[in-house]
Amino acid sequence: MSAKAWVQGVGMAPWRQRHWDVRAACNYVAGGAGSGLVVATAVSGVHGAFAAITLAIGLALVGSGLFAVWLELGRPWRAINVLRNPRTSWMSREAYAATVLFGVGTLAVSLELARSPVAPSAMLVALIVAPGFAYCQGRMLQAAKGIPAWRSPALPALIVATALAEGAGAWWIAAAWAGAGTTPALALFLLALVARLAAWLAYRRSLRDAPLAAGAIARPGAVLAPFAASLLVGVAGALALVAGWGFKFALVLRASFNQGYALPHAPVRGQRASPRP
């Protein structure tokens, strides 16, 4: 901490955290898009090879995000310890949700490729688990109470909404190429964009007392509005995906100022602190 960070008579000025870097941000980027893509695949009603491919891509994105954050660990081979505290740790809950999602998702991929009549049932379970994974990610950020941009109670809803919008956008990119669009998938995409806008507005209001974080997140957050829904669906999908990624990178890397702390009296050598009135 530099000497300039000290404010005499006030305390420590806010500073941007350095513990979570690009690898941690990639977990939110890839994990959100991947879980959202699983949801979009299940909601679309499309089955067969196309559903198996998009579902597998979603699982691969979730896996790549977890792999990125695994690389960030100082002792990555101790990552198994994350499974120890599911009752108190949202990171542990994220790991368990990911484990269930991979199991159910892999089963669903196999059943879709085999054209099994029970494939929709596996898809339904994946549809339930995937948003739970995104919710765990949001609560994991919110648990960092010293960072105003993360501790907002409006953040988990925004993380889930961005995951759904990103995933639906990614699904429509693939659907536009394969000609596999459906009405339920389009409805999900539009609703996710509206939900993301509402969640963003609520989140932005919650940062009124954190001007540094609000300023850092303002520009990437502005593009979360659903203007892209009026464009071609494939282009709108790409825009929604990129907008969510830009917001999450800014959230993890740029808006993560610590709260700082205040001292009622500056310490002076040789002088006893006077009692508080």
pLDDT for 183-221, tens place per residue?
A: 899 899 989 988 998 998 898 888 887 777 777 777 777
pLDDT tens digits along 80-91: 666 677 777 888
- Residue 8 located in a structural domain: no
Q: Which residues, including other chains, have CB under 8 Å from residue 41's CB and lie 6 or more apart? A: 51, 54, 55, 58, 123, 171
Q: Residue 272: inside a domain, yes or no?
A: no
Taking residues 250-277, report their average pLDDT. 69
On whether residue 1 sits in a domain, the answer given is no
**Residue 21 falls inside a structural domain:** yes
Distance CA 109, CA 132 (A): 20
146: in domain:
yes
Instruction: Give the domain CATH number at 249.
Output: 1.20.1630.10
For the sheet with 261-262, list strands across it: 6-7, 11-12, 261-262
pLDDT digits (tens, 9 = 90+) for 22-63: 888 888 899 999 999 999 999 999 999 999 999 999 999 999
Q: Is 271 within a domain?
A: no
The token pair that represents 8 in the structure block:
């005499």
85 vs 230, residue with greater confidence: 85
Of residues 43 and 21, more confidently modeled: 43
Maximum mean pLDDT: which of 53-67, 148-162, 244-258? 53-67
Instruction: Provide the pLDDT confidence category of residue 272 given band limits of 50, 70 and 90.
Output: low
46 lies in some domain = yes
- The pLDDT of residue 12: 66
Contact between 41 and 55 under an 8 Å Cβ cutoff? The reply is yes
Q: Residue 266: inside a domain, yes or no?
A: no
| Domain assignment of residue 124, given as a range | 13-261
Number of separate domains in the chain: 1
